Amino acid sequence: MSDNAKLGIILIVAGIVLLLSQIGLFPDLSILYLISLVFFAIYAYRGATKYYGNIGFLIPATVILAVAIYASSDDLHPAYFFIGLGLSFLAIFIIHTFWFREMDRGERYWPVFPAAGLLFFATFVVLPQRPLWFFGFMNYLWIIALIGLGVWLIYKSIRK
């Protein structure tokens, strides 16, 4: 199947989904999750980490997912929006650019810089305006550490 045919299928599916959303068959925010899922599927279909150029599908997938998660929750502090965006860029690094050893440092580590900037902004500029923000954040820190340890163990087992 040619690239034009693949793009045509993607556009038809996107058009159908948007039409169904306009008719009201999708709840308001589920369209964002669906769009994110479509970008993840295209990223996987096009070879994921096989080609560096596939990152063009991963970036909107993670950013739209972060926006959808933030928009789905009712009472979140605005800092969590920036935390979600920062984590989406960190996910881009972990999922994609980390695996390209032959790239130079700039091409390989670029997602870390917007991630660090967004997380710094959220953690040290926006969140301190909320009283006792640090103690609420600590409840999630050990969960993040557990997930990180699990990812590290899987990575080590794959490398062997």
pLDDT at 131: 56
Regions of the chain where pLDDT drops below 70: 1-3, 6, 10, 25-28, 125-139, 141-142, 160
Q: What is the pLDDT of residue 63?
A: 92
> What amino acid is encoded at 153 in this protein?
L
Give the DSSP letter of residue 126: I
Question: Of 43, 44, 18, 42, which is closest to residue 32 (Cα–Cα)?
Answer: 18
Q: What's the pLDDT at 86?
A: 92
Domain ranges of the chain: 30-129, 131-160
Residue 130: predicted pLDDT: 60
Which pLDDT does position 128 carry in this prediction? 60
Position 30 scores a pLDDT of: 74
